[in-house]
Amino acid sequence: TDLRPLDILSEAVPAGGLARGMRVFQVQGVRGFQLSASRPRALGFPASRLFIHCDRFPEEFSIIVTLRALRRPAKRNEYIFTLMVEESPSVLVGLRYAPDKLHFLFWSQERAGGWQTRVTFPNVSLSDNQWHTLVLAVSGQSFSLTVDCSIPKDVVVETPFPASLSVRRASFYLGNRRRRKGVFTGLLRQLVLLPGADATPRICHAVNFKVATLSVPTVLQDVPAKPVSNEVLKYPYETDMKVTLGARPRCTKQEKAQFWFNASRRGLYLCNGSTWLSMLEVQQRLDYVEEYQNLVTNSETMGIEVFTIPKLGLFAAVANRITPPGSAIYRWTDGKFVHYQNIPTYQAQSWKYFTIGKKIFLAVANFEQNERGQEFSVIYKWSRRKAKFLTYQRISTHSARDWEAFVIEGEAFLAVVNHREGNNHNIDSVIYRWNPRTGLFEANQTIPTSGAYDWEFFTIGPYSFLAVANTFNGTSTKIYSHIYIWLSGSFQLFQSILTFGAADWEVFHIGDRVFLAVANSHSYDSGMPAPSNFYAINSSIYELNITAQMFVKFQDLLTYRYL
């Protein structure tokens, strides 16, 4: 998009003189066009005269208007300008004012058939026979209006300004919307569209800001050299950012895209509509996570699962090793986690929260037998009546380490990682399928694993994958971990990757690129002497190569196993 100022007012003035319905008038030493309601259709021109290189309205822009509106009857709306397509009554872009209000109109094509959106700025008084300069800055869902360089009025709406608004076969209309009703009555000196920028800093540095110019027709350019009064700016502009100082302010949709400077931390933060995001700090830091709460748990914690139950809020389930007393669930109350429920577990390793329709489940991976010598991992279901988790289904497992819940083609699955059975690490892990008739999980497929620690489910396009982290085969940690792909109703081997005591897989995306990272724990082989740096080992990141249809190594990172 051309980033030069686009002078709408000049385009409405023919090269040989004024258009019908216009005459030059002077008030308080400042010239302006006086518009007449008698010939509104004459004050228009094709949008193609402004948009020479592209027939799209800019996504981000400012509109600068200098006007003197006459006093008029109450409840009357007058249009400063409109952009309309031929033979259509809809306004693509427009600016109109009513008593004590200014409305910015635009056409949104997000909904079927299109939709007219109106952004309203209240408490804007223009009908006082005085000159006023308005700067309207538009960017996505954020709209900012500055009147005579006072404090900006910011509005955030749900419907953003369209990213691609076509102006093909459209025309600008000055002071009207292609009909007699709503015609502007007053003087208009400046009407400029500035693509890609907030024009406020360019306007609000002038001594006489009410008639500050960005682009004015030649016939109106003989403005007095000296200001008409000794008026000074009430609100100085030393920066083009709106920054709030002091204590932490609220961050809602109304404050979206605004900045806050925290003097105590010497940091600059940006509101994204719900939280303040750190933008600048005085120095690079890695200790940006601060201790918030000490959570007293029943015993050593092996894992934690944080989840939300609709209408009740945030919960955290911790997997505790010692039995009894088992594991606990905490609920977020008054700004901290508070103990909510105890659940008997047996050297619990991890929790997994998942839903099936409106049913809410929580599965625990138990590593050892219960008091009766039985080895079960348990699925709990949330009872809305009792407001707690109740035992729903017991599943036979073998030193279970991890659960993974996922959905393929509308069907729910739950996969458990079995680590070992006695001293045998080479056993099957099991994938269960939800049976909606019985309301239970049933074994669907077994996959051979070796001392496995973790499942990782992910999708790429229409394909579903499941990666297993194999840790130990009984003699060595130098073994292959496997990636499976869902084909013809079951998981089939897709690729094997050599790992060293793999403890975890994690998939992530950067743009369109897909990466898969493995956390290696240590290198051990019973037939080889232990190295001096037993627990210092490279973990690896792999990237999906679409052409080769496989993951290839992208980077090694030196890591250390926690003892």
Selection from 97, 165, 110 nearest residue 136 by Cα: 97
Same domain, 39 and 159: yes
Q: Is residue 18 part of a domain?
A: yes
What's the confidence (pLDDT) of residue 223? 45
Selection from 457, 507, 514, 512 nearest residue 486 by Cα: 457
Q: Is residue 286 part of a domain?
A: no
- pLDDT above 70 covers what percent of the chain? 81
Q: Is residue 507 part of a domain?
A: yes
> Does residue 228 carry a pLDDT above 50?
no
Same domain, 215 and 307: no
> Does residue 222 carry a pLDDT above 60?
no
Q: Which of 169, 192, 220 is the last residue of a domain?
A: 220
Same domain, 162 and 310: no
Q: Is residue 279 part of a domain?
A: no
> Does residue 38 carry a pLDDT above 90?
no
Predicted confidence band of residue 232 (pLDDT cuts 50, 70, 90): very low
For residues 164 and 58, give the distance between their C-alpha atoms in angstroms, rounded to a whole number.
8
Q: Which residue has the higher pLDDT, 507 or 85?
A: 507
According to DSSP, the β-strands at 91-98 and 101-108 are antiparallel
- pTM of this prediction? 0.52
User: Residue 547 has what DSSP assignment?
Assistant: T
Q: Is residue 236 part of a domain?
A: no
For residues 551 and 495, give the distance between their C-alpha atoms in angstroms, rounded to a whole number.
8
Q: Is residue 46 part of a domain?
A: yes
As a whole number, mean pLDDT of residues 482-489 equals: 97
Q: Report the mean per-residue pLDDT for the chain.
A: 85
Same domain, 203 and 311: no
Same domain, 324 and 208: no
Q: Is residue 241 part of a domain?
A: no
For residues 363 and 414, give the distance between their C-alpha atoms in angstroms, rounded to a whole number.
9
CATH number, domain containing residue 120: 2.60.120.200
The residue behind tokens 């409106």 is: 358
Q: Which of 164, 190, 220 is the last residue of a domain?
A: 220
What's the confidence (pLDDT) of residue 225? 37
For residues 195 and 161, give the distance between their C-alpha atoms in angstroms, rounded to a whole number.
13
> Does residue 335 carry a pLDDT above 90?
yes
Q: Which of 163, 189, 220 is the last residue of a domain?
A: 220
Domain residues for the domain of 31 are 6-220
- Give residue-wise pLDDT tens across range 506-549: 999 999 999 999 999 988 888 777 666 667 899 999 999 999 99
Predicted confidence band of residue 199 (pLDDT cuts 50, 70, 90): confident
* Cis, bond preceding 160 (omega within 30 deg of 0): no
Same domain, 196 and 341: no
Min mean pLDDT across 131-140, 375-384, 390-399 is at 131-140
Q: Are 151 and 235 a contacting pair, CB within 8 Å? A: yes
Task: Give the phi and the psi of residue 85 in degrees, each rounded to 5.
Answer: -85, 150
Selection from 366, 425, 427, 357 nearest residue 394 by Cα: 366
CATH number, domain containing residue 469: 2.120.10.80
Same domain, 201 and 307: no
Q: Are 205 and 214 a contacting pair, CB within 8 Å? A: no
Same domain, 213 and 319: no
Selection from 336, 398, 399, 388 nearest residue 362 by Cα: 388
Structurally, how many domains does the chain consist of? 2
Same domain, 380 and 500: yes
For residues 278 and 439, give the distance between their C-alpha atoms in angstroms, rounded to a whole number.
46
Q: Is residue 323 part of a domain?
A: yes
Same domain, 169 and 309: no
Q: Which residue has the higher pLDDT, 173 or 495?
A: 495
For residues 9 and 193, give the distance between their C-alpha atoms in angstroms, rounded to a whole number.
10
What's the confidence (pLDDT) of residue 98? 86
Same domain, 215 and 352: no
Same domain, 216 and 338: no
